[in-house]
Structure 1
Amino acid sequence: MKSMHTLATAAAATMLVASAAQADEMTIVSWGGAYSASQQKAYHDPYMAKNPGVTIVNDESSAEAVAKLRAMDEAGNVTWDVVDVVASDAIRLCDEGLAMEIDPATHLAPAPDGTPAAEDFGDLLVSECFIPQIVYSTTFGYRTDVAEWGGKTPSTVCDVFDTATFPGKRSLEKRPINNVEWALLCDGVAPEDVYEVLGTDEGVAQALAKLDTIRDDIIWWSAGAETPQRLADGEAVIGSTYNGRLFSVIEEQKQPVAMLWDWQVFDLDGWIIPAGLSDERKARALDYIYFATDTQRLADQAKYISYGPARKSSAPLVGKHADLGIDMAPHMPTDPNNAKTTLLYNYEFWADNRDDIDAKFQAWLVQ
């Protein structure tokens, strides 16, 4: 009979082998579709080529990331290694202790010129647990062939509210977020004061009163595909949606539509590493993050999808679309020519005020 010491040693060795194998198979969670495909080409494949023996398994559960990570944590069995989430979900996971804190100085690569990662990402580091990957924006597209406009085209977001110069239907998302910010900007509120004003009952009332001036011309949308379809069909002459959706209708479908970038609202998507990983899995996840969020890798993703890299140093490296062969820089929300006026979605404000403003918005809708 083997001694207890021998059995314990064998068990420990088995655990080490299993742990090492776990570290060499990474489950990376994202959104699926063209977005996951862009990550596969820009991040996963190059990482596996650099690290033979490492296998990346894709999971498309990002929409359920918060609930699933809560359940895994409660069960004491976290099976994900790196998770792609929107910034607001990252903040929630960080606050709940379900995501590990990231030190930009040691966990993230500096820019090629030595600029520290914290400076390179700048204000986009909105949580201690979140590594930004892309910037996408909610902005406006408009028809370029509206006869009633007499050859004029919208140049500012406030032209959305100018139905005299630019008559026609507006396609707006059926929620207060973004709409109330734009309304206040176009009612004379300084950009730096928007959220302070919106934090008061009077400020919400002011925003809704401004929206009331175009109420009869609004068609509401709930899915990002609706505005591009309405613009393509001529059902709406101007409308808001995600910049990637507008890129598709303009560049892929070749519709007579153009972008209006003025006061686009930036939102972020990026990575978190779940808390509670073994040391081996954590080391592998951190190694992947260091690689996948460096300047070149973030620029590479822009070859496949029209979302802007989160690093300042990546912008000059954005090249051509891998399939269309067109320069992608002019289509990025982060391109300097498009980002002259931007509003960063205020995650903390909306976490604190969403229920109250939602209720007021819904009451205004049914008036």
Structure 2
Amino acid sequence: MNRKIVIPIVIVISLLFAASVFVGGVVVGTVLEKHRAELYAQSFPSIDKVAELLNIINHAYVEQVPTEKLIDGAVRGMIEALDDPFSHYMDRKHFDMFQEQTSGHFDGVGIELSQSKDKQLMVYMPIEGTPAYKAGIKAGDIIIKVNNKSTEKMGLDEAVKLIRGKRGTTVTLTIHREGVKEPLVFKLVREQIKIPNVFSKKIDDDIGYIRLHEFNEDTTNDIKSQVDKLKSQHVKGLILDLRNNPGGLLEEAVGLASLWIDSGPIVGIKSRSGNIESREALGGADTKTPLVVLVNKGSASASEIVSGALQDYGRAVVVGETTFGKASVQTVVNLEDGSAVLLTTDKYLTPKGRMIHKKGIKPDVVVKFDRKAAKDNQLDKATEIVRELISGKRKLSAAS
């Protein structure tokens, strides 16, 4: 049985896969070698057993079941048999959402949706700068119609499908707003919407703070833009917050670490044959500005690649709690029908060869988060350490 295997140009390192409007938590990387793709195309005699059972069910089962449903179930069963929490089968719908999440943008009007307690379609938040935000749509607004179609009993998936569309086209939303007697009608022109992923601010006028939610296609450029902006405001040190960052694109992890590591390997990718492929720093790094990286047990995969590399080279002080400990790489394999498999294909090592799977990255300065504190005690400690680096009171040192 010869099947066409399509190998994409992305590889993923993920903490988890969630089927929701936004899908998060993966690290995606490179194309598999050609000979590995050819191996995938080999036939297996035992596949006849699956075909035989499929034929029996189609002809003898007491009720008619769609063939596609049975095949999907067989594929899911094979992936579940791996007993690997990071390998997943994605049907077309969830694969589309996965691709959207890792791209970092979509075409629409910029509304994050939720459902109210009585199952009404509610605006959770308009994204700043988008058509919805500019038109005056507010958090808490209830969408009662989309293009004259009632949203009563409409699920989130259907609503998202109706509201999104090709940029330049229009969609009309009819909204009920608390305290306003008559419904409000908004005719919006769809645009490309960038999913908010990076937040930055200044702390006490001389320290820059950057928080990254996950690693998507725009991560390196977005972080560099924020770093440049903060430097133009004369900050003397930086804090990179990777807490609760579940991962994302492998290439973006390499790109981000390369902003501060000028040369040498950022990460080693180890295949099951034992071969190790090194991903090198891209050059042009800032090797001078004092840097602290914040992590916790929710920092995984790409977050651990970045924090592990910066720690190995002694380029930053890592502060917080031991990270999740996920050092496996997932490859996205496209299937013929538009679905895909997210398959664990490799493991990764830090530049010094550390295997952190199920161990995590132990911070240079361990600070347990105090939920009872009025302020963020981990951020306070990171700020204190940046000041010590700026003053020369503390020196950077590489991991041993």
TM-score, structure 1 as length reference: 0.28
Tell me the TM-score normalised to structure 2 length: 0.26
Higher relative contact order (CA 8 A, sep 6+): 1
Choose between structure 1 and 2: higher strand proportion: 2
